[in-house]
Amino acid sequence: MPRVSTDKLEARRRQILDAARTAFARHGYEGATVRVLEEAAGLSRGAIFHHFADKDALFVALAEADVAEMAETVAEQGLVQVMRELIANPDPGWLGTQLEISRRFRTDPKFRSLWAERRSAVGNATRDRLRRQLAADVLREDVDIEVLASYLELVLEGLVTHLAADLPADRFSAVLDVVESSVRR
């Protein structure tokens, strides 16, 4: 039997992830049945689950990819930059995944325990960046880093909710200017 190249396997995996992101955003986690995932990807159940153990593993892979990308941006440019990128390019699939993570975290104890350790990557990157900014004397000193990090995380969660609700975003950039100036020296 011919061997499939690593590039082709990765392309297929990416195809499945992209289709799953669309399906989860459109139908929610429960509504994105295996049949819906098959139709979205244009692949058989076997092809999908060759790459992922089950639907939950597929969802977690999407969420982990998002967290890794966000943590990288936070480490380099800060959490406000993540928010600015969301405003500039509000990806409905990404927003849907974030809302599903929040919902499942609240309603699914198994997912909550699985996700608790994974969700800390962005929080850790935020706190590390805030510490570096404090050391560089560009961050306000009168508010504890934990409070500032929680403040930024709350703003992100609110922004995700507003963007997902398709509320007018014409003032969001100005709001982020206020947020950014409120944490700086």
- Indicate the length of the chain as a whole number: 185
Q: How many CB atoms lie within 10 A of CB 156?
A: 21
Three-state DSSP at 34 gives helix
Domains of the chain: 1-52 (1.10.10.60), 60-183 (1.10.357.10)
Regarding pTM above 0.75, the answer is: yes
In this structure, which amino acid lies at residue 178? V
The pLDDT score that the predictor gives to residue 1 is 55
Q: Residue 40 has which token pair?
A: 């979205």
The chain-wide mean pLDDT, for the chain, equals 91
What pLDDT does residue 5 have?
81
Using the structure block, give the residue that is written with the tokens 């950039």: 173
| pLDDT one-digit tens code per residue, 31-66 | 999 999 999 999 999 999 999 999 999 999 999 998
End-to-end Cα, the chain, rounded Å: 64
Helix (H) / strand (E) containing 10: helix 6-31
> Residue 62 corresponds to which tokens in the numbers above?
């999407």
